Amino acid sequence: MCGRYASSRSPEDIVEEFEVLDPRLERAIPPSWNVAPTDEVYAVMERQPRNEAGEREGDPVRQLRALRWGLVPSWAKDDKIGSRMINARMETVAEKPAFRKAFASRRCIVPADGYFEWYETDRKGAKGKPVKQPFFITPEDGSILAMAGLYEIWRDRSVPEDAEDAFRWTCTVITTEATDALGRIHDRMPLLVDVASRAAWLDPLHEVTDLSALLTPAQQAGLTAFPVSTAVGNVANNGPELVEPLPLDAHPAGDDAQGTLL
C-alpha cells in the first residue's frame, strides 16, 4: 500500500521533467512532505482536444493538473468512497469495476519525491503492540518518482452542471506485491513509469494489455529506504524534517535497516 508520500517539487520542475505542453493549473499546490488521502496532488496525463461540436479528436496533449488523491468512480453516488480508493491493485485493476474504465483510457503519472511505509519492529508499545517505524523510500539519485496512476472525473449531481465544483477530478496509485528488500517493510509497493514508457502509458488511445511491459516495481527502480521521524504518522505534521534520515542509533528497526537499497 502507498498511503503517504512527499511532493515538494514546483510545477515548473514537473512540467520540465515530464515534457508537459499544456499545464492546467489555477495555482500551485503548496509543497507537502506528508501527502495524505483526499489531499490535492499533481498528476500528469494526456487528453485529446475537443472540436467545436465538443467531440474529442486529434492527438492527445500532455497536461499537468491538480487532482484529489482517492479515486471516485463515475458511477459513485457520492465522493466519500474516494478515501478508500487511494490505491489500485495491479492484479485486478483491469477488471475491477471501480478502476477498469479509467485503466482503459485515463491513465496518469503521480509525481512524488518518495513515499512512506511503516516497518513493524520487535519492540512493543504501551499496549503491547509492535512499534512501527516509518521509512521514506525515494530515488537514490534525487530524481522525481513517477508513480503509475489512474484518474477519473466524477459529476456531483447535487449541484448545477455549471457550478464551480460540479466535476471532481480524482486519482489513485497502482500497487503491486513487494518482495525482496522492500517486502521487509511492507507487502505492497507502487508501480513506476520509466522514461521510455511514459508516452505509451499516458496515451489514452493506446490499449495497455501487459502492465509488466510498461511499469516497473519500485524495488527495481534504484530506490533507497531509510528510517525517518514517527512525526509523519500525524497528518498535521509537515515539513522537510519528516524526510530527514534518522541516525543509526535513533530508530528501533535494527542497524541493518539504515540505507536499505531497493
Active-site amino acid positions = 2, 117
User: Could you tell me which of 221, 197, 202 has the C-alpha nearest to residue 115?
Assistant: 221
Closest by CA position to 15, among listed 65, 58, 49:
65
Is the distance from CB of 97 to CB of 84 less than 8 angstroms?
no
Residue 10: all three cell numbers together: 514546483
Maximum separation of any 2 CA atoms in the chain, in Å:
65
Residue owning grid cell 524526510: 243
Contact 106, 204 (CB under 8 A): yes
Among positive and negative, which fits the CA dihedral 40, 42, 44, 50? positive
Specify burial of residue 80 (Cβ count, 10 A radius: 0-12, 13-18, 19+).
exposed
